Structure 1
């Protein structure tokens, strides 16, 4: 009686090779995703912008939101930029950057309604929209 059937061995080898391929492709995919997120986080994440010097702030008509504008000076090699952060006036006081524009030194902020603000000609519906000159 032969315990090692050639067909069974070939079938088991194919299954093993398939499992190894799936594991390798999964690892490669995860590494690529990790590197991609690292590049995004390093160069494009709007929440990693420099703090800057406070310019002004404005609250929404219903008082639910406050926006604060900051002037960022990159030094001799870059121009001024304006960063605006949104503060949600609830128990959490969540803060996030909603506006980043290069070659600006002031921030004209006009509330259109309770959830819409215009900053230097760019209209944003809060809290979900944001403006970043690098992607527009």
Structure 2
């Protein structure tokens, strides 16, 4: 029996297990930071400002203003409503400003305060700029 080979094999397995555990820990911390600070699904609701419906009626963009309190400025949240899918919603716009100007450029393209977005996949989030 080769004791040196078994010991070396054990060290390799321990090192691999340690690397995998550290990688999982770092990934968990990274996801937690994203979820806590950058996930658009966790944005505050805000007060209703206005809305605009796409020319073909498939989508509606609703704008809401949120107050960050004494420490941060106002922000506008743009919510995409899928009119044909039972009013399913998705946050697609988040920027530090107080008003919202919504203009549809086509059936699948909207301009919110000068930022053009392709609907339904496009989004704008000032935190990622």
Give structure 1 regions of 4+ aligned residues with deviation exceeding 4 angstroms. none
Q: Of 78, 95, 104, which residue of structure 2 is paired with 1:101? A: 95
User: Equivalent residue of 1:68, what SS?
Assistant: strand
Q: Confirm or deny that 1:117 pairs with 2:93.
A: no
Question: How many residues are matched?
Answer: 129
Q: Of 58, 76, 79, which residue of structure 1 is paired with 2:70? A: 76
For residues 81 and 94 of structure 1, what CA distance do their matches in structure 2 show?
Answer: 23
Quote how far apart the aligned CAs of 1:108 are: 0.7
Question: Structure 2 length normalisation: TM-score?
Answer: 0.92
Give CA deviations for 1:44-71 in whole Å, capped at 9, x if unaligned: 1122111000011111111111111001
Aligned twin of 2:125 = 132
For residues 20 and 64 of structure 1, what CA distance do their matches in structure 2 show?
Answer: 56
Q: Confirm or deny that 1:18 pairs with 2:12.
A: yes
For residues 128 and 93 of structure 1, what CA distance do their matches in structure 2 show?
Answer: 16
Give CA deviations for 1:3-46 in whole Å, capped at 9, x if unaligned: xx3xx222222222111111111011001100111111111112
For residues 48 and 80 of structure 2, what CA distance do their matches in structure 1 show?
Answer: 14
Aligned twin of 2:57 = 63
For residues 15 and 92 of structure 1, what CA distance do their matches in structure 2 show?
Answer: 58
Alignment gaps of 5+ in structure 2: none
